[in-house]
A and B are shown apart, each in its own frame.
Chain A
Amino acid sequence: MLLEPELRSRLDRLALASRGRIRGAWGGRHRSRRLGESLDFADYREYFPGDDYRRIDYNLWARLGVVLIRLFEAEDELPLRVLVDTSQSMDFGDKFPTAQRLSAMVAYLALASGERVQVASVPGEDSPRIQGPWVRHTGSWPVVESFLESLQPGGGTDLRAAANHVAAATGLRGASVLVSDLLTEGWEQAIDLLGVSGSGVVLQVISPLELDPDLTGDLTLRDVETRQEVPVSVSDGAVDRYRERVRGFIDEVANRSRRSGLDHVLAVAQPGVLDQTLAALVSSGVAR
């Protein structure tokens, strides 16, 4: 069970918010880029044969002598794509379980808001992209949950390809959530592409041991993804410099996300991370 009933009941009381107009395939609760059938007046235009004569504004016609019809806003659903990084680097400490639960939390929040949700893994060079079905309503939650539970970490990461896939999806301008440690090449382009495709959130999952490593002495560090080995002498000074680089990296991700129109939330894989992340989402206006 990825989400406890108590957390799900809290999520039931929240709704996913969108920034700006969206373009969804189905009607929903979010203002759409197109005109539609809602009760919110949008504009007038000249009548053309074939238009629904029930929309003719007879008052204007009588006063101005011009036949105009009333146009109304459309409200679409917010299609949400959740991209879960399943690379080997996520298999460190509690990073991947945390990523699973964060993905589940965001997905459930969208389902509870009546949105369509699709969960997909981030493909790698040697791993295929796995994506679940588009689902809607909380009744589909077991499908999402079982899909997330079926994911296993391993292989490499190609964030750029995953983001490109989202951006290339035609006809839909929704939201996307990237759950990843972003410790891979091309993370900058991935964020840019996600920003182009719509609003979204970057949930950067970091292990506490990545923030503050407890290594010392002469070591050979091996990258679990690339198998690259780096001999280092982990001294006090080296650890201090590493911490500075980590902080700089997180700041750089946050700035890049902000410039791309995305929200950035740092999720440290430790107890209480779901509550902290949810609070951050609420405070940033992603959920309300």
Chain B
Amino acid sequence: MSLLVPGALALLSLAIPLLVLYMLRSRRQRFEVPSVMLWSGEEEFVSAAVPWQRLKITAALLLQLLALAAFAFLLSRPFFEEETLLGPHTVMIIDTSGSMGMENRLDTAKARAIELSAEASDAQLISVVSGGPSPRVLAAFSRDPEGLRTAIESLSVTGGSDELGEALRLARGLATPDRPTTILFLGDGGIPGSVTEPVTNALHVPFDDTGDNVAITGFGAGAGAGETRMFLEVTSYSNKPESVTAELEVDGLSVGSVDVDLDPGQRSQKAIAVEAGPGQVVTVALRDHVDSLPLDDSSAAVLSGSAEVSVAVLGEGSRFLDALLGSISGVRDAAGLPPDVVIIDRDDASIVDRPAWIIAPETPPPGVEVIGVLEFPVITYQRSGEPILEGIDLADLAIAEAQIVNAPGWLSLLRAGEIPLILLGEVDGQRAIYLTFDLTRSNLPVQVSFPILGSRLIDWLGGSRVTTASTAPAGTPIPLVTPQGSTARVTLPDGSRRDLVEGLLTFNAATLPGVYRVEYVAEDGTIVPGPVAARQFVASESTGETRTIAVVDEGTQAAETSQLLREWAPFIAALLLAIVLLEWWVAYGRPMPARRGEGEAAT
């Protein structure tokens, strides 16, 4: 305990005159009594010449000394330092990514945030940022605990990954120049790479409860042999063997189920043929299964009808490519005509005049430089949230040899360390996909997900975004084509409805996994059905892995913000009042016989 005004303790010196007053011989009053005979034995020696007397320790004296000490102590403003995460201005980023649904991490984080907001003094400001896939500011510079509680309690687990970088940018935008701002990130750490680390001037409050989980990590549609095939991937993150039954429904009607047995950590992939066509919604759910993360126990996909695309293969080609193109609905051979999409397989790609899928070219396209060869690359990074790779896990991809390319401006979807393996970009204004490895010298063509990946690549190159827009990771906006004079209404997976303002081009709040149904409401009340979109739980969130975000300069900022000075004044004031009341009661309030008669003052 320390004192803000130590000099006030000098008031304790007033105890000296108080004691002197008590030691001064009091002026005795003289009373006449019929006889002093019966008072014999009560006489006390009194020396009239000495004005002092022996100090008598009475309850009143002790209480007065105590009151004086309390008063001096009160004026000296004692305080104690309380450890707190709060600073003069604190921005709390609360992670709402899918992994925060594991073992109620988000509820724990929300409770901690509410607790912190309740601890804040009147001089402390608090802002709240939702740190999910669509970061947004929920409260700014607030001193209202109830308002903060309401804002925090409105948060719910999403199905997407956190955009911690974007959330941090929002938080730094809230920084106040007149007072230090502390950024608290309340979450499980998100996925690596979601923010440039180390993060400066921030504190990470981790929430890392984990539990057994079985997740649907991939669910997509493909076509082949005149039927629709659903690609299903189920992954166990449990420490024990799991047996689950995945039940599929088409537009709400059950169409079958598949049993999956999983060892700890095992991933199982299934291809299931269903009778469904474009526009229909296929859902899958783990039946009668309960785990620590319920949100990833179901998934949905909207079957899309792709436009017909003509494809030509240049270069060596392979039977895998042929089989792929043959399995994709709507893809036909260009047959000597100018193709919509060209696949350049181990050939010269120096001229790209149309969308191209470039595979380990002899000559790279403009803007790409091959600077070496990497043997047996190990997959270390797969871009999260990328619609093309959604539901596809390429961790087991084995490659014999890959080009080391320098491709500025290209987006890496898959990397081995810093070496990109699959890139997206543009060449002379044409979309291009660059695989730095030979398909025939990898196991990609024999992966169950290869048809899905190939279908999405052709779709993307062909300019169709229907597939990715209709089935995408949670958090992906839903494009709207609202007719003139109409407004959009969205039915969310939880059954609630949102009426959107006129003129919106996208619905950005598609953060919950599930099926979103859009309808357009005309001015006359006519309702026109709109697109149906499925948003899937981001598979990387199902792992429930946690990590600690590296921070720097924590000490510098924390030294100023983590110590909160709290004064004892209210407690001491209450104690002082109690002492004064007790002293008054001792002096005047105690039931004692009143002094009677008029006394004659003694000298």
Interface residue ranges, A against B (CB under 8 Å): 89-90, 92, 95, 181, 183-184, 207, 209-210, 212-226, 228-234, 236, 238-239, 241-242, 245-246, 249
Contacts and interface: CB of A to CB of B under 8 A. Distances in A.
Contacts of B46: 231
B388 to A, nearest CB: 96
Nearest to A185: B37
24 contacts: A89-B35, A181-B35, A183-B37, A210-B33, A215-B31, A216-B593, A218-B26, A218-B28, A219-B599, A220-B30, A221-B30, A222-B32, A222-B33, A223-B34, A224-B35, A228-B36, A229-B30, A230-B36, A230-B40, A230-B42, A231-B43, A242-B38, A245-B38, A245-B41
Nearest to A244: B38
Contacts of B602: 220
Interface string B322-344: 00000000000000000000000
Interface of B: 26, 28-44, 46, 592-596, 599, 602
Contact of B33 (A90, A221, A245): A221
A95 B35 CA distance: 13
A57 to B, nearest CB: 62
Contacts of B26: 217-218
B595 A214 contact: yes
A229 B29 CA distance: 12
Given A214-B596, A242-B39, A231 B31 contact: no
A217 B35 contact: no
Given A89-B34, A221-B30, A230-B39, 7 more contacts: A209-B596, A214-B593, A214-B594, A220-B29, A221-B32, A222-B36, A241-B42
A34 B41 CA distance: 52
Contacts of B35: 89, 181, 183-184, 223-226
A235 to B, nearest CB: 9
Nearest to A234: B42
Nearest to B27: A218
Of A224, A231, A241, A249, chain B has the most CB atoms within 10 Å of the CB of A231
A223 B29 contact: no
Given A215-B595, A216-B592, A232-B44, A224 B32 contact: yes
A217 B595 contact: yes
Give the residue among B26, B41, B42, B596 with the most A Cβ atoms within 10 A: B42
A224 B46 CA distance: 21
Contacts of B595: 214-217
Contacts of A92: 33-34
Contacts of B30: 219-222, 229
Given A215-B595, A217-B595, A219-B29, A231 B34 contact: no
Nearest to B48: A231
Nearest to A224: B32
Contacts of B594: 214
A232 B30 CA distance: 10
Contact of B34 (A217, A224, A228, A233): A224
Cβ-closest 8 pairs across A and B = A183-B35, A214-B593, A89-B34, A92-B34, A232-B42, A220-B30, A223-B36, A231-B46
A241 B34 contact: no
B28 A219 contact: yes
B593 A220 contact: no
Contacts of A236: 592
Given A217-B595, A220-B29, A220-B602, A207 B39 contact: no
B43 A232 contact: yes
Contacts of B28: 218-220, 231
